[in-house]
Amino acid sequence: MQSKEKVVVIYSGGMDSFTLLHQAIEGGARVYALSFNYGQRHSKELHYAQKVCDELGLPHKIVDITAINQLLLGSSLTDDIEVAEGHYEEESMKSTVVPNRNMIMLSLAVGYAVSIGANAVYYGAHGGDHAIYPDCRPEFVKRMDAVSAVANYEPVAIRAPFLNSSKTEILGEGLKLGLNYAKTWTCYNGRERACGRCGSCNERLEAFAAFNLRDPLPYEKNAENAPS
């Protein structure tokens, strides 16, 4: 990353984008955080994102695109469908795919980047997402990067630094920076405590276990594999 370059970071408030946000800051970039309310099951992640950006003094926009929710049916994250439990590699987790979500968000983020004179958009796609999410795969990122280079008079790069990294590796990068993951929310359910059973919780808990660490988030008492 070039020193002092201006970048837009798509920041959901989860572990991956939290780590990415801090890496960009540590790399010397001027970071503009961008979050989306697309009608997901809960807005808890967005509250976490706002709090972090406030603490860091970062420019942060939360964009309401809930009007498009009626076009993005069939996902358990945006529709009245029960969230599947288990691991991401399981067929049942395809219910969490939101049609065209990352293409929509990246397109809006590129427009924002052009308007503020930023030359890159970062998002937290990672290797653990490849099996389930087509818009987190290398071929998607490569093509979006190519399109964004010619879609405006000002080329904007699409960057996904964690594209070939696992959740465990991403956590490792964050631990090197001394990050506090109590400031993130990962669970697909927006209850008071994380459920510990959805794919997102499973992956998060396994990452902490790989480092023999306790996840600082509180989990429901009956959550499998969750810290007691």
Q: Is residue 227 domain-resident? A: no
Number of domains making up the chain: 1
What is the H or E stretch that residue 107 is in? helix 101-116
- On whether the CB atoms of residues 42 and 69 are closer than 8 A, the answer is no
Q: Is residue 213 domain-resident? A: no
Taking only the tens place, the pLDDT of each residue in 16-75 is: 999 999 999 999 999 999 999 987 767 899 999 999 999 999 999 999 988 877 776 644
CATH number of the domain at 156, please. Answer: 3.40.50.620
Banded model confidence at residue 100, pLDDT cuts 50, 70, 90: confident
Q: Is residue 217 domain-resident? A: no
Q: Is residue 56 domain-resident? A: yes
Q: Is residue 209 domain-resident? A: no
Q: Is residue 176 domain-resident? A: yes
Q: Which pLDDT score, from 0 to 100, does residue 10 have?
A: 98
Q: Is residue 29 domain-resident? A: yes
Q: Is residue 219 domain-resident? A: no
Taking only the tens place, the pLDDT of each residue in 201-223 is: 999 999 999 999 999 999 997 65
Higher pLDDT, 228 or 185: 185
Taking only the tens place, the pLDDT of each residue in 111-151 is: 999 999 999 999 999 886 656 778 889 999 999 999 999 99
Query: Which residue range(s) make up the domain with 20?
Result: 6-180
Q: Which long-range contacts (CB under 8 A, 24 or more apart) does 45-52 make?
A: 45/12, 45/13, 45/14, 45/185, 45/186, 46/12, 46/13, 47/13, 47/185, 48/13, 48/183, 48/184, 48/185, 49/11, 49/12, 49/13, 49/17, 50/13, 51/183, 52/11, 52/13, 52/18, 52/21, 52/183
